[in-house]
Every structure is written in structure tokens, then in C-alpha cells.
Amino acid sequence: MNGSRLGSVEESFIGRLKPGDSFVFAGRVWELVRFRDMEAWVRRAKSERAAVSRWAGSRMPLSSELAQSMFEQLERLSGVSAAASSAPRPGPVNSERPLAGRGSPELHAIAPLIELQARRSRLPVRARLLIEQMTSREGHHVFVYPFAGRAAHLGLASLLAFRLARGKPATYSIAVNDYGFELLGAEPFDPAPFTSGELLSPNDLEPDLMAAINAAELIKRRFRETARIAGLLVQGRPGERRSARALQASAGLFHDVFARHDPDNRLLAQARAEVLERELDAPRIRACLEALSGQPVDFVPIERPTPFAFPLMVERLRERLSTEALGERIARMLAQAERGA
């Protein structure tokens, strides 16, 4: 807001945010004031809870086939068959045989982490959803492991945060990876909405997902490409190319006119459909919710981060500005997590 330039950020990321939302960029937490014509105006945020900026192509999404294969390997290590994994499990998964003695050399190498995960919590399996809850000096954490891939987890985390805050206003920080996601809030999480299936229901997915993020801004960004292909926008004469900012300004005018005077316009409908499918990965999120809604939930309180939860905490901290190197911070967190292991 004072006129200085911070840098460039992925358009699909900043388009998800609403004015007043906070995000991490250039090592600091910023609050979005407005977003217009390819420029985001921000100011320093008071809250330390924020989304982490991202760039397209930085990580390949986890495929459904790979996720199922990972579940099979975890079940093989733990000695739990796919049929047995659906049975009630009152306590952590423990095995009479050492896990290090099973499987390939790669599984042998990670066996100590799997044993630690089973000892502190439980191992994720296909027929049951594992959710871990922990309290730290940062606040109250909940870790969810659907194994649906990073893109789907970003949408799932935003959806759950929206549904949690709909009944009681709250602010949540989100961290995601290919295996799960973390929500960090100031108040303890009630297990009931998670275990009852209320939060994980596929009902009203599209309207909730569109309300959870700044969908109107995403549609306007996507409409730029739709209008260009339809011939409403001219890239430029031969040897002359219009800037992305100029194209977005023209597309924004077309979008606003259609939205006001022709809300059923096919180009607008196409832009909405592409946002749901490509930006939000709604089909995969729906498939994930439909699979999770019929599963029992293991809501496990933990005292310190598990091997699956630790990378999510690091993911959230990696963008923070600090005079301490990230490796030193991770080493200190690891030492704290290993106490009493």
C-alpha cells in the first residue's frame, strides 16, 4: 500500500484469497487489500496465521494409483490386511514382528519411522481415515491424511476450514502435502464434526467450495482465456503483443457486463466449469469426499508430532522469515519431537 513492489506470485494462488486474508510472501505475513488488473495491493498483517504462497508446477500431484499403492505398503508393513483394516481398532497398530524385517530395502530403510508412527498414533489405512490432534505453543493442530494428492488437499483444507468457521467465526492456517493437510487454529477442535461425517460430506460441495475461496476472482481470471479463445480479446497485431495486464482489464470489462446483464452467458458458464475442474480439482475432491464419508474416523490425540505430521509443520514454517536457518529450526523441532520417544 506504500507503493513499493514485493515481487511476483502465482496468479491462481492470489486469486483464491479474499480481501482481509493473510498470506506469507518474501518472508513476511501480508494482508490482501485488493486485487485488480494483475496487481495485488497488500499491507503488513497483524495475524501470524496465514496461507503459504505457491507456484504452479512446483510439485507433481499424487496419483490415485500411487496413493493406493502407498496404502498397500503401509498395510503390509503393519501386518494389517485391507479387510482387517476396516475393523474397529481401539488402540495403536502394533506388531509382534519388527517392521524392519519386512519388505524391500526401501521399506526396510523407513521402517523406524513407520514403527514410530504406529507407536505414537496409528498407521493410515484405506478403510479408515486417520486424523491426529495436537496442542502446541502455536495453537491447536489437526492433521488429516486422505492421501488424495496436494491439489485435492488444498481444496479439502479450504473446504473444511470454511465449514468449521461457518458455525463459529475462526481463523485457520493451512499446510498441505501429498499425504495430508494441517489446520492450525486458536481454539481446540471438536472431534464430533469430524467423526460424524458432517465436515466430510460431499453434499453442497460446489457452493461451499466456491464460497470457501475467492471464486469470483478465479472465474474472472479464467474468463480471460475463455474470452481470448472465443475471439472477444485480441492478443495484438503482428509484431505487437498486448500485456497480460491489458488483456485482464479488457476481459474484466466483458466479464462484468455479462455477469450483470447476461448471467446465463455460455462463456461465463464455461469459465465457472473450468475453475471447478482445473483450479479447484472439484471432481477429485468429490470422489475423495464420497470415499471418506462412508469410512470410520480414527481421531487420535497426540502429544508430539508424528512422522506424518512433522513434514506438514515444516511446510508451514519454511516460508517464515527468521535469522535462524531452516535446517537449524527443523533440527530443534526434531529434538523436541524425539523427547520421550
Whether 257 is covered by a domain: the verdict is yes
Same domain, 111 and 243: no
Same-domain check for residues 183 and 302: yes
Q: Please report whether residue 17 resides in a domain.
A: yes
Pair (21, 122) in one structural domain: no
* Model confidence pLDDT, tens digit, residues 139-167: 999 999 998 888 788 889 989 998 998 87
Within 13 Å and on the Cβ side, how many CA atoms surround 306? 29
In the structure grid, which three cell numbers stand for residue 117, read together?
508412527
Give the pairing of strands 181-185 and 139-145: antiparallel
Q: Please report whether residue 3 resides in a domain.
A: no
What's 43-111 look like in SS3?
A: EECCCCCCEECCCCCCCCCCCHHHHHHHHHHHHHHHCCCCCHHHCCCCCCCCCCCCHHHCCCHHHHHHH
* pLDDT 10s digits, 224-273: 888 888 888 877 666 666 777 787 788 888 888 998 899 899 999 998 88
Q: At what angle do helices 215-230 and 266-274 cross, to 10 degrees?
A: 120
Residue 176 shares a structural domain with residue 290: yes
Q: 69-99 burial, b if ≥16 CB within 10 A, otherwise e? A: ebbebbbebbebeeeebeeebeeebebeeeb
3-state secondary structure of 27: coil
Does any domain span residue 242? yes
- Shared domain for 232 and 300, answered yes or no, is no
**Span 180-209, average pLDDT:** 90
Same domain, 143 and 250: no
43, 131: one domain: no
Q: Which domain holds residue 284?
A: 64-213+280-341
* pLDDT tens sequence across 91-101: 444 444 445 44
Query: 70 and 116 in one domain?
Result: yes
pLDDT at 13 over 50: yes
Does 202 fall in a domain? Answer: yes
Is 145 a domain residue?
Answer: yes
- Cβ density class 183-200: b for 16+ within 10 Å, e for less: bbbeeebeeeebbebebb
Q: Is position 2 within any domain?
A: no
Looking up cell 482481509 gives 20
Among 240, 262, 279, which residue terminates a domain? 279
Say if residue 152 is in the same domain as residue 237: no
Answer positive or negative: Cα dihedral of 327, 332, 337, 338.
Answer: positive
Judgement on whether residues 137 and 190 belong to the same structural domain of the protein: yes
Q: Which among 258, 279, 300 is the end of a domain?
A: 279
Query: Are 85 and 142 in the same domain?
Result: yes
Query: 25-39, 114-128, 214-228, 251-265: which has the minimum mean pLDDT?
Result: 214-228
Q: How far apart are CA 217 and CA 159, in angstroms?
A: 17
Strand partners, 182: 143, 175
Task: Give the residues across from 23 on adjacent strands.
Answer: 30, 51
Q: Are residues 266 and 148 in the same domain?
A: no
Q: Which three cell numbers stand for residue 239?
A: 509484431
Within a domain: 218: yes
pTM above 0.85, yes or no: no
How many domains is the chain partitioned into structurally?
3
